[in-house]
C-alpha cells in the first residue's frame, strides 16, 4: 500500500514511520523463518499489517527461506497462515525448488502434501526434480516422482532420466524409475554409452574400508532390468573396461569390478585384441602397480579369485606386458 501524500506532494511523517515499522516486521518474519524460530514467526504474524508473502530484496518469501533451511515447523505455520505455495522469487524458484535443491526432504514432503506443483519451472527452466537429481538428493527425487513429477524433466538431449539418476547415485529413485518403465538399454546420443557405462565411469570416493553400497546396489538393479553388461560404446569400451580405468580407491574399484564379473562381464575380452589393447585386468594391475599396502592386497586378491577364469593368452599378456 502506497502512503498518502499531502497537497504539496510530501508524504506525512507518520505514514513513513508506519511503513518503516511494517518493513521491519516483514524482515523479522523472514529472519525467524530462516532461523527456524516458529514462536517468533507466530508472534510476528499476529501483529497488524503483516503480509505473510512479503518478499526480501532478492524476492524471497518467508516460506522460501524456511523451506531452504529445512525448518519444517515454520513451513507448516506459514502455510497455515495462508502463505502462497507456488510463489516465485526473482529467479522464478518456488519454495519447493529451494527445498529440493538443499535436500530438505521433510519440507519437500509437506509442500507436496499441501499440493505444491512439482512441475513449476524457474526462469532457466529448472524444476524441483531437476535440482534434486542434480545434487543427488535421493529422498527428495523419490518424493517428487511419487507425487507426479515428470521424469522427462531430467532429459537434456543427451542423457535419459535414468542416466541422470544413476550418475548421482539416487538408488531409490533408480529403482522407482526402472519399475515405472525407464529403459535400461537406452544409449547416450553422442557416444552410445548405456546407464551401465555411466555407473562404471562415475568416480565415487569414500572412506577407505567402507563399501560404496549405493553403486553396488544400482548395478544389481540395472542387471535385474536387463541393462546389457557387455555393451560396447563408440569408444570401444564396456562398463568393465571403464571400471578398471576408473579413479577410485582400491576397495571401491575392486568391489565394483568383482560384481561386474559375477554378473557375466567377460574377463578375457581384449585378451586376443589385434591392436594390443589392454584388458580390464591389465588396466587394473597397471593402475595399482605403484600402490602399497591395502591397494596392492586388493589387486592380488582379485587376481587370485579370478585366476582360473583367465585364458592362456591373457595370462601371458599379464606377465609380459
For 66-97, write each residue's pLDDT tens digit. Answer: 999 999 999 999 999 999 999 999 999 999 99
| pLDDT of amino acid 17 | 45
CA distance 85 to 94: 8
pLDDT confidence band for 12 (50 / 70 / 90): very low
CA distance 314 to 317: 5
The x, y and z cell numbers of residue 40, run together, are 517468533
Strands (E), the chain: none
Domain covering 170-321, topology: 1.25.40
CATH code given to domain 23-154: 1.25.40.20
Average pLDDT over residues 107-120: 97
Angle value at C-alpha 137, between 245 and 140, nearest 5 degrees: 145
Dump the DSSP string for 180-225.
TT--TT-B-TTT--BHHHHHHHS-----TT---HHHHHHHHHHHHT
DSSP 8-state secondary structure symbol assigned to residue 127:
-
Contacts with 262 (C-beta within 8 Å, 6 or more apart), sequence order: none
CA distance 226 to 179: 12
Q: Where are the domains of the chain?
A: 23-154, 170-321
Helices 294-306, 280-287: axis angle to 10 degrees equals 160
Residues paired with residue 194 on neighbouring β-strands, in sequence order: 187
CA distance 239 to 232: 8
CA distance 28 to 18: 15
Cβ(192)–Cβ(234) below 8 Å? yes
| pLDDT of amino acid 254 | 76
The x, y and z cell numbers of residue 312, run together, are 592362456
Cβ(260)–Cβ(219) below 8 Å? yes
Does pLDDT of 158 surpass 50? yes
CA distance 60 to 206: 36
Cell 507448516, located at residue: 76
Note if the pTM is more than 0.95.
no
Cell 535421493, located at residue: 138
CA distance 229 to 238: 8
List, for residues 213-236, the tens digit of each pLDDT value. 888 999 999 999 999 999 999 999
Q: Which of 61-75, 169-183, 249-263 has the lowest mean pLDDT?
A: 249-263
Amino acid at each position: 500500500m502506497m502512503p498518502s501524500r499531502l497537497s504539496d506532494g510530501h508524504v506525512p511523517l507518520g505514514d513513513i514511520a508506519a511503513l518503516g515499522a511494517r518493513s521491519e516486521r516483514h524482515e523479522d518474519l523472514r529472519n525467524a523463518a530462516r532461523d527456524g524460530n516458529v514462536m517468533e514467526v507466530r508472534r510476528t504474524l499476529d501483529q497488524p499489517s503483516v503480509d505473510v508473502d512479503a518478499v526480501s530484496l532478492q524476492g524471497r518469501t518467508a516460506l522460501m527461506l524456511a523451506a531452504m533451511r529445512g525448518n519444517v515447523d515454520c513451513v507448516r505455520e506459514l502455510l497455515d497462515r495462508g502463505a502462497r505455495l507456488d510463489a516465485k522469487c526473482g529467479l522464478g524458484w518456488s519454495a519447493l525448488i529451494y527445498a529440493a535443491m538443499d535436500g530438505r526432504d521433510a519440507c519437500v514432503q509437506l509442500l507436496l502434501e499441501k499440493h505444491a506443483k512439482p512441475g513449476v519451472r524457474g526462469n532457466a527452466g529448472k524444476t524441483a526434480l531437476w535440482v534434486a537429481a542434480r545434487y543427488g538428493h535421493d529422498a527428495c527425487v523419490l518424493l517428487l516422482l511419487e507425487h507426479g513429477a515428470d521424469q522427462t524433466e531430467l532429459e537434456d538431449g543427451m542423457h535419459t532420466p535414468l542416466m541422470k539418476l544413476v550418475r548421482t547415485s539416487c538408488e531409490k529413485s533408480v529403482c522407482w524409475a526402472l519399475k515405472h518403465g525407464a529403459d535400461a538399454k537406452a544409449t547416450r546420443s553422442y557416444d552410445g554409452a548405456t546407464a551401465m557405462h555411466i555407473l562404471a565411469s562415475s568416480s565415487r570416493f569414500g572412506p577407505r574400508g567402507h563399501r560404496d553400497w549405493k553403486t553396488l546396489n544400482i548395478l544389481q538393479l540395472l542387471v535385474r532390468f536387463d541393462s546389457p553388461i557387455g555393451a560396447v560404446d563408440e569408444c570401444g569400451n564396456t562398463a568393465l573396461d571403464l571400471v578398471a580405468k576408473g579413479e577410485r580407491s582400491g576397495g571401491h574399484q575392486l568391489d565394483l569390478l568383482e560384481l561386474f564379473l559375477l554378473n557375466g562381464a567377460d574377463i578375457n575380452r581384449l585378451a586376443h585384441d589385434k591392436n594390443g589393447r589392454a584388458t580390464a585386468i591389465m588396466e587394473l594391475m597397471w593402475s595399482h602397480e605403484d600402490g602399497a599396502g591395502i591397494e596392492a592386497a586388493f589387486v592380488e586378491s582379485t587376481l587370485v579369485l579370478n585366476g582360473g577364469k583367465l585364458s592362456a593368452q591373457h595370462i601371458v599378456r599379464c606377465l609380459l606386458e
